[in-house]
Amino acid sequence: MSETIGFIGLGNLGLPVATNLQDAGYGLRVYNRTASKAKPLVTKGAQQVTQPADAVTTGGIVVTLLWDGAALESVISDSGFLENLGPNGIHIAMGTVLPETAKKLVAMHEQHGSTYVEAPIFGRPEAAVTQKLWIPYTGSQQAKERIQPILKAMGGQGLFDFGEEVGAATIVKLVGNFLIVSAGYSMREALSMAEQNGVDPQAVVNMLTQTLFPAPIYQNYGKMIAEKAEPFGDSEIPLKDVDLLKKTAQQVESPTPLSNFLHDLLSNDLK
Amino acid sequence: MSETIGFIGLGNLGLPVATNLQDAGYGLRVYNRTASKAKPLVTKGAQQVTQPADAVTTGGIVVTLLWDGAALESVISDSGFLENLGPNGIHIAMGTVLPETAKKLVAMHEQHGSTYVEAPIFGRPEAAVTQKLWIPYTGSQQAKERIQPILKAMGGQGLFDFGEEVGAATIVKLVGNFLIVSAGYSMREALSMAEQNGVDPQAVVNMLTQTLFPAPIYQNYGKMIAEKAEPFGDSEIPLKDVDLLKKTAQQVESPTPLSNFLHDLLSNDLK
């Protein structure tokens, strides 16, 4: 049996990712705020703990997949988390947080002799189940080599190394999610126009995804829009990530007119 | 030798398209406002005429590839154009015009016993040279069957039939160009943010076009942006087509918040 990994955050994406690890033979020590969500993992042998720090072992690996920077900082500040992890432990942070938050956390881990690696995930929960996730990751070379098989076992069909400077992988994730939001809203607007002019939106999607846009994003969202589903439903993730992109851009005074505009459209849609 | 085709409009796209026809064995009767542009075709045997109506023969085929609806209406109103074409002639209109303009022109052709087919082109001039154009087309079934080999000979690697109701192919073209503009501006904004945060924009493009966006648009514009070129240079085509999309949407009261916003960004960039 492979090593036992700490796993904190069993949400829509966390649960299938943790399940993949379990199915690949890893032992799991799991923590989730709503404890009942751990049940499918516990049934198959995972150990459930009652506070985040108890998921951590010295020199071991702990994964967090949390909603935002505040949730991540709260978990790390749980008494014993950093003390238990170091020395030589690795924290794989998979939620999307501000690059400046990530940099602060890198320093806190270093103080305890452990390593913070960021590895945000591209992929919906269904893609986790089918092991079709894409994962950009950043961190120290030694830590990355150690976690590569774990990221693959999580369902990562493709891993993309963005160097050692933590923050880079998060920026890639923010760019990708912004491009998804932009493509989704653009399709919704243009396909509505087509349909109201009597042109079948699915026929338009079929042509464009065979030619200019042969990309899963255009195929999937195009189909959803043609079938009158909202591309992002009532998910708050797009708004959260566009907000993070804006804040990340503001720190370097990079202008974001489109992000601002899409942020407003997303906010209105969630009201 | 195949039949002789009238060809009006030898611009950046028109010239390579006409050249493809000539190379495929078609005879050409060409008209262009700036007559000198026809020279390469004339050298290889094309007949040059001095007014649009002279490019037209009764029962024959005439192609127009003009800047906008005003230019197209001006050519058609040239004394003798419609009279020469009918009966049984076909006009293949390949420039992008308002669907309502196209519908008006359909009726004018019918009055003279000829047929108006719309066949707007997706593809840059380089794609015409390499015969990699995508062409949606709309018109009467009989006319479409007759012109299919001609559209292929023009460099159409893929033809997409959008029925008999003229206007539909133009709407597909407007949707496609709007999605291109949206993707281009989104990439420019997001990649600038990445670069100013110290992340190599080409590395971001490489990951995203291997995963979420494996589409030529993202590859080509992403590379241009990473190399500091403006995605649309000083071309007025994106602004023109977004403007046509807005007008087409207004006629059916379909809201276009993103199109309006991109229209403003494009206008500012051209100033």
Verify whether the Cβ–Cβ distance B171 to A204 is below 8 Å: yes
Statement to judge: residues A101 and A25 lie in one domain: yes
Q: Are residues B140 and B217 both part of a single domain?
A: no
Say whether both A67 and A113 belong to one domain: yes
Q: Report chain B residues whose CB lies below 8 A from the CB of A157.
A: none
Q: Which domain holds residue B85?
A: 4-164
Catalytic site positions of B? 173
CB contact under 8 A, B212 and A134: yes
CATH number for the domain including A182? 1.10.1040.10
In angstroms, the CA B260 to CA A211 distance is 26
User: What is the CA B223 to chain-centroid distance, rounded?
Assistant: 24
Task: Point out which residues pair with B90 in neighbouring strands.
Answer: B61, B115
Residues on chain A touching B218 (C-beta within 8 angstroms): 179, 215
Which of B168, B190, B192 shows the shortest C-beta gap to A179? B190
Q: Phi-psi region for residue B42, left (φ > 0), alpha (ψ -120 to 50) or beta?
A: alpha
- Our CA dihedral for B213, B219, B225, B226, rounded to 10 degrees, sits at 100
Q: Which chain A residue shows the shortest CA-CA distance from B249?
A: A193
Nearest chain B residue to A258, by CA: B186
Contact B4, B29 (CB under 8 A): yes
Same domain, A120 and A227: no
The answer to whether residues B234 and B263 belong to one domain is: yes
Q: Which residues of A touch B158 (CB under 8 A)?
A: 210-211
Q: Which helix (H) or strand (E) holds B136?
A: strand B133-137
Which of B101, B207, B218, B221 to mutate: most A Cβ within 10 Å? B207
Q: Tell me: do A150 and A16 sit in the same domain.
A: yes
Q: How near does any CA of chain B get to the CA of A194, in Å?
A: 6
pLDDT along chain B (271 residues), means of 10: 91 97 98 97 98 97 96 95 96 95 96 97 95 98 98 97 97 97 96 96 97 95 93 90 95 95 92 78
What's CA B237's distance to the chain center, in Å? 10
| Residue B72, min C-alpha distance to chain A (Å) | 22
Chain A interface mutation, best of B208, B210, B219, B225, highest count of A Cβ atoms under 10 Å: B208
CA-based radius of gyration for chain B:
20
Q: Which of B65, B57, B58, B127 is nearest to B95 (CA)?
A: B65
DSSP codes of every residue in B161-210 = E--SSTTHHHHHHHHHHHHHHHHHHHHHHHHHHHHHTT--HHHHHHHHHH
User: Which phi-psi region, left, alpha or beta, contains residue B203 (left: φ > 0; alpha: ψ -120 to 50)?
Assistant: alpha
Q: Which residue in chain A is spatially nearest to B246 when comparing CA positions?
A: A193
Catalytic (active-site) positions of A: 173
Of the candidates B167, B182, B252, the beta carbon closest to that of A196 is on: B252
Please tell me the predicted confidence (pLDDT) of residue A1: 52
Whole-angstrom distance, CA of residue A222 vs CA of residue A204? 9
Per DSSP, the three-state class of A192 is helix
For position B1, what pLDDT does the model report? 53
Residue of A118, A179, A261 best to disrupt the B interface, most CBs of B under 10 A: A179
- CA-based R_g, chain A, Å: 20
Distance from CA of A78 to the nearest CA of B (A): 31
Which pLDDT does position B188 carry in this prediction?
A: 96
Shared domain for B59 and B185, answered yes or no, is no
User: Residues A188, A191, A193, A198: is their CA dihedral positive or negative?
Assistant: negative
Domain-ending residue, one of B164, B192, B222:
B164
Among residues A137, A163, A189, the one where a domain terminates is A163
Question: What single-letter amino acid sits at A174?
Answer: L
If one counts the domains in chain B, the total is 2
Q: What's the pLDDT score for residue B12?
A: 95
- What residues of B are in contact with residue A258 (Cβ under 8 Å)? 185-186, 189, 261, 265
Q: Is the same domain home to B36 and B60?
A: yes
CA distance B100 to chain A (A): 11
| Residue B151 sits in the same domain as residue B185 | no
Under an 8 A CB cutoff, do B175 and A183 touch?
no
The answer to whether A172 contacts B207, with C-beta atoms less than 8 Å apart, is yes
Single-letter residue type at A206: N
In 3D space, the residue among B53, B47, B55, B56 whose CA is nearest the CA of residue B22 turns out to be B47
Measure the CA–CA gap between A92 and B164, rounded to whole angstroms: 57
| Boundary (domain end) residue, out of B122, B143, B164 | B164
For residue B221, which residues of chain A lie inside 8 Å, CB to CB? none
Tell me: do A46 and A156 sit in the same domain.
yes
Cα separation of B45 and A65, whole Å?
Answer: 69
Q: A11 and A115 share a domain? A: yes
- Weakly modelled stretches of chain A, pLDDT under 70: 1
Same domain? A246 vs A138: no
Residue B178 and residue B242 in contact, taking contact as beta carbons nearer than 8 Å: yes
Give yes or no for a contact between B144 and B129, defined as CB atoms under 8 angstroms apart: no
Q: ipTM of this model?
A: 0.95
Regarding beta strands B4-8 and B27-31, do their DSSP bridges make them parallel or antiparallel, or are they unpaired?
A: parallel
